[in-house]
Every structure is written in C-alpha cells, then in structure tokens.
C-alpha cells in the first residue's frame, strides 16, 4: 500500500552554472510530497501502529524535525544540505530520497515502510520527482554521503 504526505518549507538557493536569472541568490516556497509504501500492520490491541503503514503523526514529527527544520526551512540550501553538490530541484529531490532511505527505513516504528518517491515543487507550476533508483544512481555525486545522512 502507498501513503503520501505533503510538507512546505521556504529556502533560498543559487544555481551558479545557470545561464539565466537563477544564477543569482533567490528563494522559493517549496512543497514536498513524500510517497512511502509498505504493508498495513496487523490490527492488534497492543500495537499502536495497528492498521497503518506508518502513523502520519509520527512521520510528520520525524520529517519536520529531523529533515525540514534541520536542513531545509529558511536556509540557503548550498550552506545547509550536507553533501548536496548543486541545489537543483532534481538533485535536492534525490538527496531527500537518499536521506529517507538512510534515516527512516529500519526504525522500529517504521516497520517495513520504504520511501518510494519525493516530488519537490519549486513553484506552483514546476516540480521534480526522484525515486529510489534516482537516489542510488546520484549518490556518488553527494560529497560524504555517510555524514550527510547521519
């Protein structure tokens, strides 16, 4: 089964190799949509996760405090996101998937849940989407990936 949760954050970045206005420092009101997949947990009286892939409240808490507040919201992305070589929407979406793979998967409260995709809107009309394969393929571009996701 799939579940999805959206988040918002404000951030600035620059694309120094871009041949248009985006080479200058500028900001976006980003919208992030994360899709996870996994089995629905069996309904048991002693399991507070019963009937869920994962509890949305717990997922919100982890994503907000450990990802968005720590690395993304109200930051200059080149300065705050460890290992990100270039702050394009494509690379940032792949970095977010890699972060989720490393940081969320395997936690006891996450059971068998896995990140499937990250869709990142820079504007209301433009988004990039990365999946697990994209993240694994781009991982060599991220400087010090282990320190980036610890």
Is 141:82 a contact under the CB 8 Å cutoff?
Answer: no
Of the chain, the percentage scoring pLDDT greater than 70 comes to 95
Mean pLDDT of the region 27-34: 98
Stated as kind and residue range, the H or E segment containing 118 is strand 114-123
Give 65-88 pLDDT, tens digit per residue: 999 999 999 999 999 999 999 999
Mean pLDDT of the region 53-57: 89
The whole domain housing 35 covers 2-13+28-148
Residue 120: inside a domain, yes or no? yes
Residue 112: inside a domain, yes or no? yes
Residue 20: inside a domain, yes or no? no
Torsion of CA 33, 34, 35, 36, to 10 degrees: -160
Cα end-to-end distance, the chain, whole Å: 28
DSSP type of residue 40: P
Q: What span, in angstroms and rounded, lies between the C-alpha atoms of 143 and 150?
A: 13
Residue 23: inside a domain, yes or no? no
Domain count, the chain: 1
Q: What span, in angstroms and rounded, lies between the C-alpha atoms of 94 and 136?
A: 8
Residue 18: inside a domain, yes or no? no
Those residues with Cβ within 8 angstroms of residue 46's Cβ, 6 or more apart along the chain or in another chain:
none
Q: What is the pTM of this model?
A: 0.92
Residue 145 has a pLDDT of: 47
Q: What span, in angstroms and rounded, lies between the C-alpha atoms of 59 and 108?
A: 12
Is 134:98 a contact under the CB 8 Å cutoff?
Answer: no
CATH number for 77: 3.30.479.10
Q: Give the confidence band of 10 by pLDDT, cuts at 50, 70, 90.
A: very high
More confident call, 145 vs 105: 105
User: Phi-psi bin for 68: left (phi > 0), alpha (psi -120 to 50), beta?
Assistant: alpha
Residue 21: inside a domain, yes or no? no
Average pLDDT, the chain: 91
């Amino acid at each position: 089964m799939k579940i999805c949760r959206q988040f918002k954050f404000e951030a600035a970045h620059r694309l120094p190799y871009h041949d248009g206005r985006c080479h200058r420092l500028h900001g976006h009101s980003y919208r992030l949509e994360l899709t996870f997949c996994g089995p629905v947990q069996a309904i048991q009286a002693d399991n507070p996760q019963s009937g869920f892939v994962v509890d949305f409240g717990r997922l919100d808490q982890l994503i907000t405090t450990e990802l968005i507040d720590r690395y993304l919201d109200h930051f200059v992305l080149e300065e705050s996101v460890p290992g990100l070589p270039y702050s394009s929407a494509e690379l940032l979406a792949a970095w977010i998937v890699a972060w989720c793979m490393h940081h969320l998967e395997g936690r006891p409260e996450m059971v068998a849940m896995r990140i499937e995709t990250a869709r990142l809107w820079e504007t209301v009309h433009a988004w990039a989407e990365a999946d697990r394969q994209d993240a694994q393929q781009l991982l060599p571009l991220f400087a010090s990936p282990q320190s980036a996701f610890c």
